[in-house]
Chain A
Amino acid sequence: GAVVSQHPSWVICKSGTSVKIECRSLDFQATTMFWYRQFPKQSLMLMATSNEGSKATYEQGVEKDKFLINHASLTLSTLTVTSAHPEDSSFYICSAGPGHHPYNEQFFGPGTRLTVL
């Protein structure tokens, strides 16, 4: 299957700082990537759809000025959590799928554990 990587796998930061998370498709090009947030013992909640070369599409209730998404190439999308606060602590996961795959199969990155002190 296709491979998606994320970096870093975990990060601890102080309240008020910004954190950047990278999502890469290693063996395919992805015009679209997805960013999810998962709180403990909860489901994956879609935050936004990252579109290569254009603005991201945010889900209702997600602050676009707080969660900045950049999809500058066909293999890389970044999520920047600006002015992070403890309530932003969560597991952030990206996904992407090769465009040639039938239907809508998505492959997930390993996730990034963010802890804001």
Chain B
Amino acid sequence: GENVEQHPSTLSVQEGDSAVIKCTYSDSASNYFPWYKQELGKRPQLIIDIRSNVGEKKDQRIAVTLNKTAKHFSLHITETQPEDSAVYFCAASKTGGGNKLTFGTGTQLKVEL
């Protein structure tokens, strides 16, 4: 089955700096890669996703890049703000795989003033 690795497990940045979280996946058939933000005790919230037919997607301060050859994708957050502090999860799934998501291990992002 699919295996998704995520790094780093914790990330501390100064407000205004950029943050980058990286994930690798094992199943070359995976074609959908969402990123979720989860605050303590809350549900995961989709912040951005990317399909395998594009290499990059941007939404304001958030961007995701995908390298299908290397089987890795990354989340980039620019101009970080304290409210960006949360746990971020990457995930992967594939069409025909029952829409089943395999999650990475998570990254605790802390944005310091």
Query: Which stretch in A13-21, A61-69, A72-80, A101-109 binds the other chain?
Result: A101-109
Q: Is B89 an interface residue (CB 8 A)?
A: yes
Number of residues on chain A facing chain B (CB within 8 A) = 26
The docked-state distance in angstroms from the alpha carbon of A97 to that of B99 is 8
B43 touches A93 (CB 8 A): yes
Complex Cα–Cα for A49 and B94 (A): 15
Asked if A26 CB lies within 8 Å of chain B CBs, one says no
Judge whether A110 and B95 touch: CB under 8 Å: no
Chain B residues within an 8 Å CB radius of A103: 31-32, 49, 51, 93, 95
CB distance from A28 to the nearest CB of B (A): 13
For chain B, the bracket of interface size reads 20 to 34
* B30 shortest CB reach to chain A, Å: 10
Is B86 an interface residue when CB atoms closer than 8 A count as contact?
no
Contacts of B43 in A (CB 8 A): 93, 108-111
Whether A49 and B100, one on each chain, are in contact in the complex, defined by CB atoms closer than 8 angstroms, is yes
Beyond A105-B49, A110-B43, 13 additional contacts (C-beta under 8 Å) are A34-B99, A43-B103, A44-B103, A46-B100, A46-B101, A103-B31, A103-B51, A103-B95, A104-B97, A106-B101, A108-B45, A111-B42, A111-B43
Q: List 9 A-B contacts (CB under 8 A).
A: A43-B104, A43-B105, A46-B100, A102-B51, A104-B95, A104-B101, A107-B46, A108-B43, A110-B43
Give B contacts to A, CB under 8 Å.
Answer: 31-32, 34, 41-46, 49, 51, 89, 93-95, 97-106, 108
